[in-house]
Amino acid sequence: MNMLPPTAASTTLVYDAVILSDLHLGSDNCQAKHLCEFLERIEDGRLRTARLILNGDVFDSIDFRRLKKTHWKVLSLIRKLSDQIDIIWLCGNHDGSADIVSHLLGTRVEDEHTLASGPHQVLILHGHRFDEFLDAHPILTLVSDMVYYLLLRVDRTHRVARLAKKSSKTFLRCAQKIEERSREYARGKGCTVVCCGHTHQAISDPSQDVHYFNSGCWTELPCTYLTVRDGRIELQAFEPEVELLAAEPATLITRPMLWTGAAVFPTPVAVPE
């Protein structure tokens, strides 16, 4: 994996787009404090981008009673940013009615979005439409989600949840199917890059004619996102200025377990032991 150290020049870059997915506001595992810090960096210009693309599952459900104070702060920051930059909300399977989302935040809501960047046409969509297991087994999907979120809660390092996904043949088959079908769909639309979410599996794989990226999620550590600039798509790990788990022993992880391809990080990522 290539590691990019932070430089003074990196703070002056203006990205064509920053892509987040799977925030799951309303979930106990949502890393809302990290999200607030990330959005504040965009607001004050430390992270400069022409547009912010929220690639699905911003909400865990449409039961807004589950939103905590920090979750409402995330929504407030998104609304404030919509006055500064273009914000596009792409529908995910957890988000509910697009009309509600659009009214709540004043953002544009689409099913998918195509972005021209450098020599590439970049297709961005959540990816749940290619999840056959989700449609065929809704109850098993719900139970699996509950177990996954429980693992995230009992293990603050999130290693157990990542290991469970890596060990699940059903999950890996579904994730692979989503990758294959999204590539095929993008190819049919004349796009050379496709960016998805949904699987919570951060991936950077430019190995085929259609490059595949997945922005990961903001319910596991490290939280991840994609940046797009002049046709270059990079998978980034968010590093908070004040590490919330700094009091615990940490080790540097150079390659998270579930990742494939050449993920690009601005700095090494500290994950508690």
Which amino acid appears at position 205 of this protein?
A: D
pLDDT tens-digit profile of 5-31? 343 444 568 999 999 999 999 998 899
Which amino acid appears at position 95 of this protein?
A: D
What pLDDT score does 203 carry?
94
Cα 155 off chain centre by: 21
Q: How far is CA 172 from CA 6, 50, 193, 223, 259, in A?
A: 33, 34, 21, 20, 12
Q: What is the pLDDT along the chain (273 residues), one digit of tens a residue?
A: 333 434 344 456 899 999 999 999 999 889 999 999 999 999 999 999 999 999 999 998 878 889 999 999 999 999 999 999 999 999 888 676 767 777 777 788 999 999 999 999 999 999 999 886 445 445 544 545 555 555 556 655 556 455 544 544 454 567 889 999 999 999 999 999 999 999 999 999 999 999 999 999 999 889 999 999 999 999 999 999 865 444 333 333 222 333 333 333 333 333 333
Phi-psi region of 138 (alpha: psi -120 to 50; beta: other; left: phi over 0): alpha
What strands lie across the sheet with 112-117, from one edge to the other?
112-117, 120-125, 193-196, 211-214, 203-205
What pLDDT score does 99 carry?
72
Judge residue 268's burial from the number of C-beta atoms within 10 Å of its C-beta, 0-12 exposed, 13-18 middle, 19 or more buried: middle
What pLDDT score does 208 carry?
95
What pLDDT score does 92 carry?
87
Cα 184 off chain centre by: 21
**β-strand 224-229 against 17-20: which pairing, if any?**
antiparallel
Q: What fold is seen in the domain 9-272?
A: Purple Acid Phosphatase; chain A, domain 2 (3.60.21)
What pLDDT score does 102 carry?
73
User: Comparing C-alpha atoms, which of 197, 205, 191 is closest to residue 234?
Assistant: 205
Sign of CA dihedral 260, 262, 266, 269: positive
Report d(CA 113, CA 186) in Å as an integer. Answer: 11
What pLDDT score does 80 carry?
94
What pLDDT score does 152 carry?
53
Beta bridge partners of 166: none
For the chain, the domains span 9-272
Q: What letter would DSSP give residue 25? A: B
What pLDDT score does 13 carry?
85
Report d(CA 225, CA 20) in Å as an integer. Answer: 5
pLDDT tens-digit profile of 142-174? 545 555 555 556 655 556 455 544 544 454 567
